[in-house]
Structure 1
Amino acid sequence: MDKNTIIGFVLIAAVLFGFAWWQQPSEEQIKQQRIEFVKDSIANAKKIAAQKNKAAQAAQQNAMASADSSALFYSALKGTAQDIVLKNDKVELTLNTKGGVVKQAVIKNYVGHDVTSKKDRSKDKKDVTLFTGEDQNLNFMLATKTDNIETKDLYFTPSNVTDSTVTLTATATNGKTLTLNYTLGKSYMLRLSLQANGMNGIFKPGENQLLVNWQEKCKQQELGYTFENRYATLTYKNSEGSTDYLSETAEKEETMEEALDWIAFKNQFFSAVMISKDGFATGAKLKSTPLQKESHYLKQYNANLATTFDPSGAKVSEFEFFFGPNDFRLLKSIEEESKFGKELEMQRLVYLGWPLFRIINRWFTIYVFDWLSKIFPMGVVLILITMLLKFITYPMVKKSYMSSAKMRVLKPKLDEATKQYNKPEDQMQKQQAMMQMYSEYGVSPLSGCLPMLIQMPIWIAMFNFVPNAIQLRGESFLWMDDLSTYDPIISWGSNLWLIGDHISLTCILFCSANILYSWFTMQQQKDQMVGQQAEQMKMMQWMMYLMPLMFFFMFNDYSSGLNFYYFVSLFFSAAIMWGLRKTTNDKKLLAILEARREENKKNPKKQGGLAARMQALQQMQQQQMEENRRRQEELNRKKQ
């Protein structure tokens, strides 16, 4: 390599190094490049992660599509929900094509109260919404060999749509279908037939069952939450027995040991009832859970049921639904309207009390109530029923009063005849002397209790009838806007212990009438008591006067119709007692008794009945006391 070549290489190297040095970035430029490099690295990492996530989602969707494509009702799992309305003059039912069941029930011609506003009645609606899609859920489920078919997930195709009919069909693979046929009758009955087509072979042997899950949050429909909640129950009918219900006050869950004909989600005046033609199999699980007052719902109802199912479609699974009022006559007619030929006894949804009280209400109160309500307003009907009952019981009440009056006029003679028995140890002898005189004069000391005993079954019968009489719902009378709920004269926002959030005027009137009646009763009984009985009566007086106060706290939340009935009944009872007292001639009555005593002396009769048994018991007690006294004296002598 010659000298010129070397010089050339040196110059080229110098030029390259000089250019590189001249192009070298500053520190700020180097820092900025590092920041841009980090940003580019992060962006590239996010891009790669997004690509991986997209690929995973695509794989998952492909897997789900593959799984759905193997499901029996794959094509019915997609669709658009559509509302279909069935209606008549009584009810309007909204069905949804997703799930194929009733999602809303509106009962016509009954006022729908706005329970959030206790005073503003302008917010009430002309019809009652029994439930909406948020409140109730009904699901039919078929457990096949491979998967579970649930109607709540299926989109049904509607056909044959009219105001009273609709056919909903869910199509499966290989021509298989599940069809729901609905027919609305002329009143409150909705019929459903569920039919399969070509599904035989997809179930396990012996497991061809249709499972039913029915749930409802029972809405508060009346203004008085506490009072309505007492009559809201999950009720059911045993196939081989009568009706029964879960606890109305506490959470209750039961597994049925018998087959059932129907299940009812009931509130005070309206019910949703599901009836199965083939019945619900044993093992049904029922649950009722009370809900808080602030929710404006009464209870949460749950029913898990099972009934027969024919996958071949040769036999359909048939149901009937009742969405309507708890009217005794109407519910009794449902049995005739039903196509199943069963003794449904749905009128039992109107609770009329225990057997004795139910007989009174079933064969007297309802007939009289129906007859009078065709002519008079409901408030007048309650007054007329009260007057009729007083008229019927008047002979017995008068007889009982006269027995008490006889004891009253004999009181001076009893005091005179028993004054020597004033020591505590002589009380048994005093009682025997009194019983002997009662026997001579032909007087029964227990007859004065009969007026209350006579009226008690009627009082209890009306206690069960009035709160369940839907005819009183929304009916006004005098100051009472609604006879089926309380009538507040004072209201406030919060609940006070024992009282609640109001004071009911009819409850005050009822308690006042109770005090008046108690005073009349006490005066009558006080005039006939002798010795120790009179002392005991003083303590009883305080109890009798405290009872109206207790009744106030009990009945303040009860319906104004019930309180009004009790007020009128007690007022008439006090008036009858006053009238009998004023028209009784004590001197004449005493003369009659003296004549009877003389007659009994001439023709003595053997004492019998309760008086004889009481006298025998007193004699036995007297003998026992004498025996104890002799033993005590013998022990004392031995100690001495």
Structure 2
Amino acid sequence: MNRDTIIGFVLIALVLIGFSWYNSPSKEDIEAARLQDSIAAVQQESAKKAAQQQAEKKQEQEEIAKTDSSALFYQALNGTSQQVVLKNGKLELTLDSKGGIIKKAKIIGYKDLNEDKDLTLFDEKDQSLNFLLTGKQDNIVTSDLYFTPSEQSDSTVTMTATAGNGGQVILKYRLGKDYMLGFSLQAKGLANAFAPSYKEMEIEWTDHCRQHEKGYSFENRYTSIFYKEAKDGDTDNLSEASDENETIEEELDWVAFRNQFFSIALISKDNFAKNANLISTLDEKGTGYLKHFDAKLKTAFDPTGAKPSEFEMYIGPNNFRLIQDVEQQSQFGKDLDLEQLVNLGWWLFRLINRWFTLYVFDWLASFGLSMGIVLILITILLKVITYPMVKKSYMSSAKMRVLKPKLEAATKQYDKPEDQMKKQQEMMSLYSKYGVSPMGGCLPMLIQMPIWIAMFWFVPNAIQLRGESFLWMDDLSTYDPIIEWTNNIWGIGDHLSLTCILFCAAQLIYTWISMRQQKDQMIGAQAEQMKMMQWMMYIMPLMFFFIFNDYSSGLNFYYFISLFFSAAIMWTLRKTTDDEKLLAILEAKYQENKNNPKKQSGLAARLEALQKQQAELERKRKIKN
């Protein structure tokens, strides 16, 4: 080896040593690498422990499954939750393979409290539907099982849970074109798992009813569990105002969880068996929920699998006409009468709303008018229809008013307390001779009350008003606050509603006009009694304020407009009535009846005859004593 070769090796060694020294890690790098190795080791150990725990858990579940109530389906106790969406243009349903049930329901085109364009009626936190099948040894609880989706489309899906023996529980869903969902439950290859006498399965259905509207108290008044009896066709509901636990002794066509504007109705083809247990529990204000609903039901089940248990579910708005149309899509051939979910009031007021208000409302709304204009036009139409009767009633009161001086002169000799019967007889005799009915002045109130009460039921249940604005009112279906505060004040709440104030003011003015009109026609003791009554009548608007401050602005607006027109009609009739001419007509009638007493008739004549009969009986009683 020569000198040049040695020098070359030395230089190469120096380069290698220098390069190694230059690229060697610093103390910081060495510490970071050591730390990284430690983290990787910990993560590896954690993953190993997690895998071991998962294996132990799975083994434990399998061991438990062999002895628990779902042992037949122990393989279906484990799985992965999968989401399946069924959707049409109006409804979107999300189904979960865990339990095979609806996890979420979204109604398209209806805004929620957060102004989202679509309203989520419920999700997995709010509602559950569970089917329980009692076997000879094992119970099948669908909420515990993982189902496998198949045959999936936008409107259909089949959910299948497979048992250890190869048997299956199958849930089939089919979404219609609107708001009706059809589904069935069928057991195949499981006949030996059930007793020969087993013919009914249990259903547990719960719902935590969300608050969807601004007014908690008002919405709660129209939120309840509704149901329809299969035998008599009667529809009833649990209390809206308090907790209630009721067992229904009749078979049921359907059970519905209903809030003010939306409902979920579960319908059974073979009816729900007797003794269904329904529970409604109130929730606190501010929780975002109204009530908690529980329904424990039973219905027919074929363990051989030859016949599925069939159901339908209406999930949608409480729109009377819409529900009528959707009901026609039912495959069960029943008169479901689901439109009863739109509460139009007790039987008399329901008839008014069903056969008059609904038709008029739909007709006016078909022109594309604002809902506020529709309410005004309905008010005007009702005033036109009732005007002839109101005018007749007013004229009866006017006749009594112009006759007041003559009545006072004719009865002034009967001012003693013991002569009050004679005084009344003399007044009735004069009313009869003049052809006047003393009860005619009460007719306006008798005419208006059924309509007022009918509208009291109709307006709060009219979903067409939901979210509709008019003038200063942002939403005709809820209150219109001019001022709000945080803490509730007893009897008032947390706001002042402008339409309620206007309604109560109009009621006060109308009461003043009515009281003045009645005061002008009464004499003697009647006038004294009227003084006491008028204070009670003036208190009514104050009472109405405490009642209606939380009600919908649409209802208060209707009452305000109705009272405004009523007061205007009364004022117009008063200004256009010629008292002298009316008195002349009455005098002519008096002369005609005086010359022909047999022509006297009407209510006054009947009251006069009744009073004479009572006076005669009183005279005989005194003689006998």
Same fold (TM over 0.5): yes
Partner of 2:416: 423
1:405-442 Cα distance to aligned partner (Å, 9 max, x none)? 00000000001001111111111111111000001000
Asked whether the 8 Å contact 1:418–1:434 carries over to 2, the reply is: yes
Secondary structure at 2:423 match in 1: helix
Shift of 1:622: 2.8
Partner of 2:372: 379
Partner of 1:486: 479
Asked whether the 8 Å contact 1:490–1:503 carries over to 2, the reply is: yes
> Where does 1:446-595 land on structure 2 (aligned, <5 Å)?
446-595=439-588
1:506-532 Cα distance to aligned partner (Å, 9 max, x none)? 000000110111111111101100100
Partner of 2:293: 301
- Which whole-Å CA distance do the structure 1 matches of 2:65 and 2:620 have between them? 98
- Which whole-Å CA distance do the structure 1 matches of 2:469 and 2:533 have between them? 39
Shift of 1:623: 3.6
Secondary structure at 1:458 match in 2: helix
Secondary structure at 2:467 match in 1: coil
Residue in structure 2 matching 1:317, options 309, 317, 334: 309
- Which whole-Å CA distance do the structure 2 matches of 1:138 and 1:371 have between them? 40
Secondary structure at 2:557 match in 1: helix
Partner of 1:342: 334
Write the letter of the residue equivalent to 2:455: M
Asked whether the 8 Å contact 1:211–1:306 carries over to 2, the reply is: yes
- Are 2:168 and 1:177 equivalent residues in the alignment? yes
Partner of 1:88: 88
- Are 2:217 and 1:226 equivalent residues in the alignment? yes
Asked whether the 8 Å contact 2:95–2:102 carries over to 1, the reply is: yes
Partner of 2:104: 104
1:183-202 Cα distance to aligned partner (Å, 9 max, x none)? 11111111101111111122
Asked whether the 8 Å contact 2:242–2:282 carries over to 1, the reply is: yes
Write the letter of the residue equivalent to 2:316: G
Partner of 2:279: 287
Partner of 1:605: 598
Partner of 2:64: 64
Secondary structure at 2:79 match in 1: coil
- Which whole-Å CA distance do the structure 2 matches of 1:239 and 1:547 have between them? 43
Report % sequence identity. 65
Q: Structure 1 pair 203/403, CA: closer, same or farther in 2 (3 Å)?
A: same
- Which whole-Å CA distance do the structure 2 matches of 1:514 and 1:130 have between them? 38
Secondary structure at 1:293 match in 2: coil
1:478-535 Cα distance to aligned partner (Å, 9 max, x none)? 0000000000001000110000000000000000110111111111101100100000
Write the letter of the residue equivalent to 2:290: L
Secondary structure at 2:192 match in 1: coil
Q: Structure 1 pair 434/154, CA: closer, same or farther in 2 (3 Å)?
A: same
Shift of 1:624: 4.9
Shift of 1:360: 1.1
Q: Structure 1 pair 606/573, CA: closer, same or farther in 2 (3 Å)?
A: same
Asked whether the 8 Å contact 1:78–1:154 carries over to 2, the reply is: yes
Write the letter of the residue equivalent to 2:239: S
| Greater alpha carbon shift after TM alignment, 85-94 vs 569-578 | 85-94
Q: Structure 1 pair 69/557, CA: closer, same or farther in 2 (3 Å)?
A: closer
Write the letter of the residue equivalent to 1:588: K
> Where does 1:191-206 land on structure 2 (aligned, <5 Å)?
191-206=182-197
Q: Structure 1 pair 62/455, CA: closer, same or farther in 2 (3 Å)?
A: closer
- Are 2:138 and 1:147 equivalent residues in the alignment? yes
Partner of 2:204: 213
Partner of 2:34: none
Q: Structure 1 pair 427/298, CA: closer, same or farther in 2 (3 Å)?
A: same
Q: Structure 1 pair 314/616, CA: closer, same or farther in 2 (3 Å)?
A: same
- Which whole-Å CA distance do the structure 2 matches of 1:360 and 1:137 have between them? 38
Shift of 1:618: 2.1
Asked whether the 8 Å contact 2:66–2:74 carries over to 1, the reply is: no
Q: Structure 1 pair 167/385, CA: closer, same or farther in 2 (3 Å)?
A: same
Write the letter of the residue equivalent to 1:337: Q
1:529-554 Cα distance to aligned partner (Å, 9 max, x none)? 01000001111111111100000000
Shift of 1:60: 6.8
Secondary structure at 1:311 match in 2: coil
Gaps of 5+ in 2: 1-55
Asked whether the 8 Å contact 1:261–1:280 carries over to 2, the reply is: yes
Q: Structure 1 pair 163/421, CA: closer, same or farther in 2 (3 Å)?
A: same
Write the letter of the residue equivalent to 1:153: D
Q: Structure 1 pair 505/284, CA: closer, same or farther in 2 (3 Å)?
A: same
Partner of 1:389: 382
- Which whole-Å CA distance do the structure 2 matches of 1:497 and 1:565 have between them? 26
Shift of 1:68: 6.5
Q: Structure 1 pair 605/131, CA: closer, same or farther in 2 (3 Å)?
A: same
> Where does 1:354-365 land on structure 2 (aligned, <5 Å)?
354-365=346-357
Shift of 1:612: 4.0
Residue in structure 2 matching 1:125, options 116, 124, 133: 116
Secondary structure at 1:418 match in 2: helix
Shift of 1:627: 5.2
Write the letter of the residue equivalent to 2:280: S
Asked whether the 8 Å contact 1:335–1:341 carries over to 2, the reply is: no
1:291-334 Cα distance to aligned partner (Å, 9 max, x none)? 11122211111111111111222111111111100000011122
Residue in structure 2 matching 1:267, options 259, 270, 273: 259
Partner of 1:239: 230
Write the letter of the residue equivalent to 1:244: D
| Greater alpha carbon shift after TM alignment, 350-359 vs 584-593 | 350-359
Partner of 2:42: none
Write the letter of the residue equivalent to 2:271: G
- Which whole-Å CA distance do the structure 2 matches of 1:153 and 1:87 have between them? 26
- Which whole-Å CA distance do the structure 2 matches of 1:352 and 1:507 have between them? 22
Q: Structure 1 pair 265/66, CA: closer, same or farther in 2 (3 Å)?
A: closer
Q: Structure 1 pair 166/413, CA: closer, same or farther in 2 (3 Å)?
A: same
Write the letter of the residue equivalent to 1:516: I
- Which whole-Å CA distance do the structure 2 matches of 1:64 and 1:597 have between them? 99
Q: Structure 1 pair 469/535, CA: closer, same or farther in 2 (3 Å)?
A: same
Q: Structure 1 pair 59/364, CA: closer, same or farther in 2 (3 Å)?
A: closer
Partner of 1:252: 244
Q: Structure 1 pair 498/341, CA: closer, same or farther in 2 (3 Å)?
A: same
Shift of 1:583: 0.2
- Which whole-Å CA distance do the structure 1 matches of 2:58 and 2:334 have between them? 56
Shift of 1:65: 6.0
- Which whole-Å CA distance do the structure 2 matches of 1:495 and 1:303 have between them? 33
Q: Structure 1 pair 265/57, CA: closer, same or farther in 2 (3 Å)?
A: closer
1:221-263 Cα distance to aligned partner (Å, 9 max, x none)? 1000111111101000111222111111111111111111111
Gaps of 5+ in 1: 1-55, 115-123, 633-640
Asked whether the 8 Å contact 1:334–1:346 carries over to 2, the reply is: no
Shift of 1:62: 7.9
Shift of 1:614: 2.4
Write the letter of the residue equivalent to 1:470: I
> Where does 1:153-164 land on structure 2 (aligned, <5 Å)?
153-164=144-155
Secondary structure at 1:540 match in 2: helix
Asked whether the 8 Å contact 2:68–2:138 carries over to 1, the reply is: no
Asked whether the 8 Å contact 2:593–2:599 carries over to 1, the reply is: no
Secondary structure at 2:227 match in 1: strand
Shift of 1:619: 2.4
Q: Structure 1 pair 61/110, CA: closer, same or farther in 2 (3 Å)?
A: closer
Residue in structure 1 matching 2:129, options 135, 138, 143: 138
Partner of 2:45: none
Write the letter of the residue equivalent to 1:592: I
- Which whole-Å CA distance do the structure 1 matches of 2:443 and 2:61 have between them? 82
TM-score calculated relative to the size of structure 2:
0.88
TM-score calculated relative to the size of structure 1:
0.86
| Greater alpha carbon shift after TM alignment, 403-412 vs 79-88 | 79-88
- Which whole-Å CA distance do the structure 1 matches of 2:166 and 2:64 have between them? 23
Shift of 1:208: 2.5
